């Protein structure tokens, strides 16, 4: 029972990390169908933004970096969309190879700019350490990431459901042709979607500096998990991504506690494969009358 | 306008499975083009070519680039003083790209195209094991500069880093002397940690220590909260850490979050040197012990010289570490052996190597001809808040290399 309680916050915090890295992808991959392998490198860009800002923001760089990283990664995404991806819409396999190439280039660029070794991002002093109640441990950095994930989800939900631009985005996703007929500038909506999706990756990257390495390979550690969450949750489904992230996080934490890290990974993959056999469309599916 | 003939969901799912596949091989195939040296005769003319084969891209670049730098520094220094047997050394640098087959392929290229007299390179045991047959088949020499798991002695490899009895065993002696009885083992899931832990378990059995847990995580793993929970629940006196690469950053950052202090439960690491401390942050590591043979702070005029030369060449903010020093020593050891043999031929160098000794930054190092390992002084250090490592214990003198632990009665049957 104690082990059960102990692993609960850990599962939730793993889920929060998964959710945070996958959120941006629910936009670019989920909504637009772009298999963006360079998503991991936008995480990396966010993390390096925090590193760069340290020189004047000092230990609070992580906080300052959240909005800045959103714009830095967002702009990178926008440039990628404008120059390359828009020429590949509707060709998922080509896009996959294209963005994978871009991701390798970005990794090498980071290596040339910042050096191959990891760099150090100092956490604010109030995020170092953790709380403990009767054997249940919860580091402050984890709580911060959990809070960050919640804030991002609420912000996205508000944007999608309550703003004009967000509703246009949903319209384009549900039926691009009809949206275009109704006078929505779909290509501008695409740009905005890509900007937000990439920007969210930047924000996630800043959060990751608190718990993981900051180096050129950062993106590669999270990209597969991010895709798993989006696919298991159902493409373009915010609630699906949230649910999938936390289910996978909890599953991972319990299996790892009773076995080991390698086996936990195997089990999570096996469960997802099994689940997709039964529900290839993911947890939630968008119902529309579109003919595709 | 989108036109998709294939069902869109099917296409996306296919794309995702491909994505997962590609991401999995991402680092492995992260190859960059290497410059090709021209074919040339072995040692005719007034230069001698040597190969420098490290990962300059991919996941291991983080560590290996620094070793390549110190090898090039040693070559520069030797050239400035007239070279080896009157010939200038000409380095041919190749990128192993963190991919083990690439190491084997590049090693072959250095031998057959560039006709190098010797190769300095490798970091992971996997890369060494990939290169081993190439050097044995061609009867050419490799100098390997990193501490490793022992239980190997190839006739064509010189091991200038520590073997187990020069690093892991002294580390355990140190923990024992500190009165640590219950040890938890944490390591990456590959050959070095698993072999090292086998040795540690034998040692514990013979020395009245208890192993209270053993956890392995995949290479590149970044989620350590469950492992840390298990460690905290097992309440060990100390943790023996054989994690490699970026996993260390995640482990120490997340360990700090639980409020476990180095003073109560030290984590002894064998893969964290000055360079890694910089990437993790001294904040997270201050007070933790590490086991090596050399630190930037090691005292002696030869080390002062080495650190100053390295900083002058690569920047004042750079640090020097154990594998870098071993790489640097490799070039000098090779030079000394060549001069003793008065020949560049691998077999002559091998015959002459026994007892060849140099005054290295870590002190005197001597080649043991029988194993082709070197005598090294073991040192335990503690990470300081400024990121450097302070020595707290050292073996009385250089320890004789014993890769198969033949002289340790408890290690029989490994």
Q: Which of residues 189-208 of B touch A (CB under 8 A)?
A: 189
Torsion sign (Cα): A153, A156, A160, A161: positive
Whether residue B2 is contained in a domain is answered as: no
- Do the strands B182-188 and B157-159 form a parallel or antiparallel pair, or are they unpaired? unpaired
ipTM confidence: 0.85
Inform me whether the C-beta atom of residue A30 falls under 8 Å from chain B C-beta atoms.
Answer: no
- How much is the pTM? 0.84
Q: How confident is the model at residue B233 (pLDDT cuts 50, 70, 90)?
A: confident
* Inter-chain residue contact A261 with B218, CB threshold 8 Å: yes
Unique residue bearing structure tokens 């699906």: A240
Same domain, B14 and B151: yes
Within 8 A by CB and 6+ apart from A225, the residues are A18, A21, A22, A248
Interface test with B, best of A92, A249, A281 (most B CBs within 10 A): A92
CATH architecture label of A2-278: Orthogonal Bundle (1.10)
Q: Is residue B80 part of a domain?
A: yes
CA distance B175 to chain A (A): 26
pLDDT for the residue B190: 84
The winner for highest mean pLDDT among A9-13, A218-222, B27-31, B398-402 is B398-402
Looking at the structure, do residues B243 and B350 belong to the same domain, yes or no? no
Pairs of residues, one from chain A and one from chain B, whose beta carbons lie less than 8 Å apart: 193
What average pLDDT does range B118-127 have in this prediction?
92
Q: Is pLDDT of A9 > 90?
A: no
As beta bridge partners, residue B187 has B216, B242
Least Cα separation, residue A251 to chain B (angstroms): 12
Q: Over 60: is that where the pLDDT of B33 sits?
A: no
Cβ pair B111, B37 in contact under 8 A: no
Mean pLDDT of all residues in B159-184 = 94
Supply the pLDDT for residue B99: 87
- State whether residue A28 sits within 8 Å of chain B by CB: no
Q: For residue B60, give its domain range.
A: 7-163+316-375
- Residue B307, domain member (yes or no): no
Largest alpha-carbon pair distance within chain B? 76
- From the CB of residue B27, how many other CB atoms can be counted at a distance below 10 Å? 23
Per the domain annotation, does B305 fall within a domain? no
Q: Report chain A's terminal Cα–Cα distance, integer Å.
A: 49
pLDDT of residue B19: 55
Task: Say what the pLDDT of residue A34 is.
Answer: 83
Q: Looking at B244-248, B374-378, B380-384, which range is the least confident one?
A: B244-248
**Whole-number pLDDT of residue A282:** 84
Determine contact: B17 vs chain A, CB below 8 A. Answer: no
pLDDT reported for residue A285: 75
Average pLDDT over residues B327-334: 97
Predicted confidence (pLDDT) at residue A288 exceeds the cutoff of 80? no
Strand order of the β-sheet with B373-375 is: B88-95, B47-54, B119-121, B142-144, B157-159, B373-375, B363-368, B357-360
- Rounded to the nearest 10°, the torsion over CA B398, B400, B404, B407 is -110
pLDDT bracket for residue B3 (50, 70, 90): very low
Is pLDDT larger for residue B36 or for residue A97?
A97
For residue B306, being part of any structural domain is answered with no
Three-class SS string for chain B?
CCCCCCCHHHHHHHHHHHHHHHHHHCCCCCCCCCCCCCCCCCCCCCEEEEEEEECCCCCCHHHHHHHHHHHHHHHHHHHHCCCECCEEEEEEEEECCCCHHHHHHHHHHHHHCCCCCCEEECCCHHHHHHHHHHHHHHCCCEEECCCCCCCCCCCCEEECCCCHHHHHHHHHHHHHHCCCCEEEEEEECCHHHHHHHHHHHHHHHHCCCEEEEEEEECCCCCCCHHHHHHHHHHCCCEEEEECCCCHHHHHHHHHHHCCCCCCCCCEEECCCCHHHHHHHCHHHHCCCEEEECCCCCCCCHHHHHHHHHHHHHHCCCCCCCHHHHHHHHHHHHHHHHHHHHCCCCHHHHHHHCCCCEEEECCEEEEEECCCCEEEECCEEEEECCCCCEEEEEECCCCECCCCCCCCCHHHCCC
The reply to whether B22 and B119 lie within a common domain is: yes
A59 in contact with chain B, both atoms CB, cutoff 8 A:
no
Minimal CA separation from B58 to chain A, in Å: 8
Mutate to test the interface with A, among B23, B320, B385 (most CBs of A within 10 A): B23
In chain B, residues with a C-beta closer than 8 Å to the C-beta of A215 are: 62, 246, 279
> Predicted confidence band at B31 (pLDDT cuts at 50, 70, 90)?
very low
- What is the rounded average pLDDT of the residues A274-291? 79
Cα pseudo-dihedral A260, B221, B54, A121, rounded to 10: -150
> Which chain B residues contact residue A214 at CB under 8 A?
249, 279
Testing the interface with A: which of B6, B8, B11, B15 to mutate, by most A Cβ within 10 A? B15
- Residue B39 has a pLDDT of 35
Scan residues 278-307 of B and list those with Cβ closer than 8 Å to A.
Answer: 278-281, 283
Q: Write down the pLDDT at residue B171.
A: 95
What is the residue-averaged pLDDT of chain A? 89
**Residues 124-183 (A) with a CB less than 8 A from some CB of B:** 128-130, 132, 137, 139-142, 176-177
Query: What is the mean pLDDT of the segment spanning B246-256?
Result: 90
Nearest to A256 among B58, B63, B226 (CB): B226
Least confident window among A95-104, B5-14, B38-47, B404-413: B5-14
Q: In this structure, what are the phi and psi dihedrals at residue B207, rounded to the nearest 5 degrees?
A: -115, 20
| B186: nearest Cα among B154, B157, B221 | B221
Distances (CA, A) of A99 to A23, A243, B17: 18, 27, 15
Give dist(CA B108, CA A137) in Å, integer.
Answer: 52
Looking at residue B238, which CATH number applies to its domain? 3.40.50.2300
| Res. B12 pLDDT band, cuts 50 70 90 | low
User: From the list B58, B229, B279, which residue is nearest A120 (CB)?
Assistant: B279
pLDDT at residue B6, rounded to an integer: 45
Chain B stretch 336-395, residues whose beta carbon is closer than 8 A to a beta carbon of chain A: none
- pLDDT computed for residue B43 by the predictor: 66
Which of B6, B29, B219, B229 to probe the A interface (max A CBs under 10 A)? Answer: B229
CA distances from A221 to A144, B72, B247 (A): 21, 32, 10
- The mean pLDDT of B344-359, rounded to a whole number, is 94
Measured between beta carbons, which residues in chain A are less than 8 angstroms from residue B274? none
Q: Is the pLDDT of residue B67 over 80?
A: yes
Mean pLDDT of B90-117: 93
**CB < 8 Å to A3, chain B:** 233
Of A120-129, A241-250, B324-333, the poorest mean pLDDT is in A120-129
Q: Do the Cβ atoms of A220 and B220 come closer than 8 Å?
A: yes
The reply to whether B310 falls in a domain is: no
Q: Are B270 and B329 in contact (CB under 8 A)?
A: no
Residue B84 has pLDDT above 50, yes or no: yes
CB contact under 8 A, B257 and A139: yes
Contact present, A194 and A85 (Cβ < 8 Å):
yes
pLDDT tens-digit series, residues A38-68: 999 999 999 999 999 998 888 888 999 999 9
Count structural domains, chain B.
2
- Considering CB atoms only, which of A130, A224, A235 is closest to B12? A235
Indicate whether B331 belongs to any domain.
Answer: yes
pLDDT value at residue B279: 85
Structure-block tokens of residue A115: 């050096």
Averaged confidence pLDDT in chain B: 88
User: By CA distance, what is A128's nearest residue in B?
Assistant: B257
Asked whether the beta carbons of residue B281 and residue A276 sit closer than 8 angstroms, the reply is no
B42 and B126 fall within a common domain:
yes
Percent of chain B with pLDDT over 70: 89
Q: What residue spans define the domains of chain A? A: 2-278
- Residues B277-296 have a mean pLDDT of 92
Q: Do B217 and A260 touch (CB under 8 A)?
A: yes
How does pLDDT run across A140-185, given as a tens digit for each residue? Answer: 998 999 999 999 999 999 998 899 999 998 888 888 888 899 999 9
- By C-alpha distance, the chain B residue nearest A141 is B257
Judge whether A54 is closer than 8 Å to chain B, CB to CB.
no
The pLDDT confidence band at residue A79, using thresholds 50, 70 and 90, is: very high
- Least CB-CB distance to B226: which of A7, A103, A118? A7
What pLDDT score was predicted for residue B21? Answer: 53
Residue B340 maps to a domain: yes
User: What percentage of chain A exceeds 70 in pLDDT?
Assistant: 97
Q: In this structure, are B21 and B61 located in the same domain?
A: yes
Instruction: From B181, B258, B259, B264, select the one nearest B226 (Cα to Cα).
Output: B258
A132 neighbourhood in chain B, CB within 8 Å? 258-259
B331 with B233, same domain: the answer is: no
Which residues lie below 8 Å from residue B27, measured CB to CB, with a gap of 6+? A217, A220, B58, B59, B98, B220
**In a shared domain, residues B173 and B235:** yes
Residue A254: per-residue pLDDT: 92
Which chain B residues touch A100 with a CB distance below 8 Å? 19, 22, 26
Is B62 in CB contact (< 8 Å) with chain A?
yes
pLDDT band at A6 (very low <50, low <70, confident <90, very high): confident
């Amino acid at each position: 029972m104690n082990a059960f309680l102990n692993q609960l916050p850990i599962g939730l915090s793993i889920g929060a990390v998964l959710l945070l890295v996958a959120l941006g992808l629910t936009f670019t991959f989920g909504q637009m169908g772009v298999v963006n392998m360079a998503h991991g490198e936008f995480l990396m860009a966010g993390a390096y933004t925090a590193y760069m800002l340290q020189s004047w923001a000092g230990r609070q760089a992580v906080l300052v970096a959240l909005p800045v990283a959103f714009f830095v990664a967002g702009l990178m995404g926008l440039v990628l969309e404008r120059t390359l991806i828009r020429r590949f819409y509707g060709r998922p396999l080509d896009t996959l190879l294209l963005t994978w190439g871009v991701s390798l280039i970005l990794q090498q660029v980071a290596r040339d700019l910042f050096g191959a070794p990891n760099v150090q991002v100092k956490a604010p002093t109030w995020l170092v350490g953790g709380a403990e109640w009767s054997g249940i441990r919860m580091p402050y950095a984890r709580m911060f990431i959990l809070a960050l994930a919640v804030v991002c989800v609420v912000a996205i939900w508000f944007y999608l459901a309550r703003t004009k631009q967000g509703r246009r985005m949903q319209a384009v996703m549900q039926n691009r042709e009809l949206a275009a007929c109704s006078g929505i500038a779909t290509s501008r909506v695409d740009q905005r979607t890509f900007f937000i999706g990439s920007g969210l990756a930047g924000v996630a990257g800043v959060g990751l500096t608190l718990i993981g390495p900051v180096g050129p390979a950062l993106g590669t550690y999270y990209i597969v998990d991010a895709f798993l969450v989006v696919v298991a949750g159902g493409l373009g489904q915010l609630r699906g991504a949230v649910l999938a992230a936390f289910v996978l996080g909890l599953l991972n934490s319990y299996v790892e506690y009773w076995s080991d890290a390698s086996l936990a990974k195997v089990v999570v993959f096996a469960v997802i494969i099994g689940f997709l056999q039964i529900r290839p469309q993911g947890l939630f599916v968008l119902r529309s009358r579109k003919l595709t | 306008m989108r036109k998709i003939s294939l069902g869109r969901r099917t296409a996306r799912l296919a794309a995702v499975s491909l994505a997962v596949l590609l991401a999995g091989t991402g680092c492995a195939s992260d190859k960059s083009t290497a410059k090709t040296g021209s074919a040339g005769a072995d040692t005719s003319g007034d230069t001698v070519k040597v190969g420098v084969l490290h990962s300059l891209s991919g996941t291991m670049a983080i560590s290996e680039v620094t070793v390549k730098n110190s090898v090039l520094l040693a070559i520069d220094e030797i050239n400035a003083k007239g070279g080896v047997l009157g010939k200038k050394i000409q380095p041919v640098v190749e990128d192993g790209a963190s991919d083990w087959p690439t190491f084997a392929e590049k090693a072959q290229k250095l031998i057959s195209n560039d006709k190098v007299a010797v190769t300095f390179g490798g970091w992971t045991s996997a890369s060494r094991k990939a290169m081993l047959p190439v050097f044995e088949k061609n009867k050419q020499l490799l100098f390997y500069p990193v501490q490793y798991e022992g239980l190997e002695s190839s006739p064509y490899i010189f091991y200038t880093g520590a073997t187990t009895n020069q690093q892991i065993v002294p580390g355990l002696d140190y923990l024992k002397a500190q009165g640590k009885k219950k040890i938890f083992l944490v390591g990456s899931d590959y050959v070095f940690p698993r072999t090292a832990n086998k040795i540690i378990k034998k040692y514990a059995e013979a020395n009245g220590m208890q192993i209270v847990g053993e956890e392995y995580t995949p290479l590149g793993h970044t989620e350590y909260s469950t492992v840390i929970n298990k460690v905290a629940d097992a309440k060990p006196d100390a943790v023996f850490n054989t994690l490699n690469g970026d996993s260390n950053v995640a482990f120490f950052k997340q360990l700090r979050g639980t409020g476990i202090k180095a003073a109560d439960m030290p984590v002894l690491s064998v893969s964290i040197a000055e360079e890694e401390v910089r990437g993790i942050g001294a904040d997270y590591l201050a007070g933790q012990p590490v086991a090596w043979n050399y630190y930037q702070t090691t005292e002696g005029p030869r080390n002062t010289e080495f650190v100053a030369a390295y900083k002058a060449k690569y920047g004042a903010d750079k640090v020097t570490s154990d594998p870098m020093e071993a790489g640097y020593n490799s070039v000098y050891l090779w030079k000394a052996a060549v001069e003793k043999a008065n020949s560049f031929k691998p077999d002559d160098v091998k015959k002459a190597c026994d007892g060849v000794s140099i005054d290295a930054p870590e002190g005197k190092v001597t080649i043991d001809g029988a194993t082709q390992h070197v005598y090294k002084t073991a040192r335990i250090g503690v990470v300081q808040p400024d990121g450097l490592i302070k020595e707290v214990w050292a073996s009385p003198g250089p320890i004789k290399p014993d890769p198969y632990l033949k002289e340790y009665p408890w290690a029989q049957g490994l």
